[in-house]
Every structure is written in structure tokens, then in C-alpha cells.
Amino acid sequence: MKITVSTLCRAKTEGRKFSVVSCYDFTNAKLAVSAGIDVLLVGDSAAQFMLGFDSTLPATMDFMVAITTAVNRAAFEKLIIADLPYESCAAGGEKMVTDSRRFIEEAGADVVKIETSSEQFDDLKAVIDAGIPVMPHLGIRPQTGEYKAQGTTAQIAAELIGFAERVYNAGAQMLLLEGIAREVGKLITQKLLFPVISCGSGPDCDGQVLVLPDILNLKDGAMPKFSKSFADIGKASVEAIAEYDRQIKQNVFPDDQHSYHMKPGEMEKLLELIG
């Protein structure tokens, strides 16, 4: 059965948490589906994890549509959220509406995630008013290059809560909070009736999201305070590839078992044909 925003709203009402994974391709999306993940977020962090850039900014709309389509092929029964890239957000309301519609119509996404602030409310509202399901992204916003935790003072916390209420009243479908103080995440989750996802905003939100490379420990370097690796698949992958390399160089693989063969009697006929 297809997971929808209504499915998550029921989970919230019943006090059940839901899981979200940020992934970027068909193969890993299939793994997430097999593991029972509820929601797949196709994040613009793909620019870093797939393409090797040092920020999310180089992610283009065409690239995001392509990878969202791939994830949707693997996980169409899950809720698919697509991340509107910087190039679209920076262009303003009309471009944001056009590109958000591409995610829905071309890529099969169910919801569009938009990094936003109170200064960009009118652009966000334009997308909502166009009838596109939207999940605003508040707090730490990688597209701005600011990675400092948010809501740690009463003044900033009050502003975040006020803006969260504003986007809720404007018709947003969901909300993502990144790097917000746990206490503030809890208050927002309790105040608002739609699903609230935490990315480093404490355990009191309705759902939690991490990027798959962190979950599997597939990347080098330190990870954010709020992230966690649940298995060292990175190390296991290196060991497996190194064993492949060893067997190639020692002429152990491929062997006869991993080779195709001519049908009986055909080798003799071939030798006659080629003299």
C-alpha cells in the first residue's frame, strides 16, 4: 500500500514514529525499501556524496529530476520527497513553481522539500498556492552555508516556532527541522498537526532522517553530531573490493565456474573451420 502524507498524519495521531532515509539512486533505494523505511528523501546532498562537491550548491534541477526518477522506480510505494536545489530556490517564486511541478509530473515525487526562511515566505507560498505538496526545511540550511545549531536562544527559538506556524497555516504538508535545539523541535511538533521530521532536531519529532552514507559509514571524515553509523559497510566494502583485486592479480578469479562454455562438440567444429 502506498505511503502518503495522510499515512504519516495517522502515525502522528497514534504516536507512532516513522523513518526517513536520504538516498540518491535506484540500488540504494531498493535496499531502503527492503529494510522497511517509510519515506525516501532525495536530497541535494547528492552533489556531495555522488559527485564529490564540497557543498550542495552545484546540484542542478536536471540532475535532481534524474535521481528522483531513479529512486521512484525503486520505491514508488513509499513517500518520495524531492529536494528543490539551490539554483531553483535562488531564482524566486516563478522558477520554484515550475521546477517543483517538474518533480511531481516528471519524477514522480509526492512532496517537494524547500529550504526557506521568513524572508522567502512569499516564494514558498507561491509553490503551495500552485497546489504542489511542500515540505519547508527550517533551521540549518546547507544551501546558505550556515551550519550553526539553531533555536538555542529564546529569541531565535520563538522566531522559528512562529515561522513554523506560519508555513503550517499557509498550507504546507509537512516540515523538516535541521539542527534545531531539541526543546524547540518538541514544541513545534506538539503545536502543529502535520508530520514534523527531525534532522538533528531531537527525538521528539514525528520522524527522523539521516543520509544513507552516514547510516552505512560509507564516507570519509567526521559526521555531524546528530548523525550515527549503524554498520561499517564502508570498511566491509573496501575489504571486498580489495579481495576482488587480489584474486584478479593472482589469477584466481574468474575461474572455470564463472566462465561460459561452448556446447559439446562445437570446439572440434570450430577448429576445423579455422584450419
**Phi and psi at residue 100, to the nearest 5°:** -60, -40
Cα separation, 64 vs 46, in Å, equals 8
* Residue 165 designated active-site: no
pLDDT(168) > 80 = yes
Residue 219 has pLDDT above 90, yes or no: no
Please count the other Cβ atoms lying within 10 Å of the Cβ belonging to residue 160. Answer: 23
pLDDT for position 18: 98
CATH superfamily ID and name for 5-231: Phosphoenolpyruvate-binding domains (3.20.20.60)
60-72 pLDDT, tens digit each? 999 999 999 999 9
* 233 Cβ contact list (under 8 Å, min separation 6): 216, 217, 218
Average pLDDT along the chain: 97
What one-character-per-residue DSSP string does 149-178 give? -B--SHHHHHHHHHHHHHHHHHT-S-EEEE
Contact 171, 132 (CB under 8 A): no
- Residue 145 pLDDT: 84
Looking at the chain, which residues constitute the CATH 3.20.20.60 domain(s)? 5-231
Q: Which member of 77, 178, 243, 268 is catalytic?
A: 178
The yes-or-no verdict on residue 221 having pLDDT over 80 is: no
Within 10 angstroms of residue 260's Cβ, the number of other Cβ atoms is 4
- Max distance between CA atoms of the chain, in angstroms, equals 89
Helix spans in the chain (H):
5-13, 26-35, 46-49, 61-75, 86-89, 93-105, 121-129, 154-170, 182-191, 212-215, 233-249, 266-274
Give the confidence band of 223 by pLDDT, cuts at 50, 70, 90. confident
**Residue range 105-111: mean pLDDT, rounded:** 98
Residue 125 scores a pLDDT above 90: yes
Residue-level pLDDT at 139? 97
Please write the tens of the pLDDT for every residue from 19-55.
999 999 999 999 999 999 999 999 999 999 999 999 9
The grid coordinates of residue 214 equal 552516514
CB 185 within 8 A of CB 164: no
The yes-or-no verdict on residue 152 having pLDDT over 90 is yes
37 near 85, Cβ under 8 Å?
A: no
Task: State residue 271's pLDDT score.
Answer: 97
Tell me: pLDDT of 185 over 80: yes
User: Cα separations (Å) of 52 from 1, 46, 67, 140?
Assistant: 36, 9, 16, 21
pLDDT at 212: 97
pTM for the predicted model, two decimal places: 0.95
Q: Percentage of residues in the chain with pLDDT exceeding 70?
A: 100
pLDDT at 222: 83
- According to the model, what pLDDT value does residue 233 have? 96
End-to-end CA, the chain = 63
Summarize the confidence of residues 116-134 as an average pLDDT. Answer: 97
> Angle CA(120)–CA(83)–CA(61) in degrees, nearest 5?
95
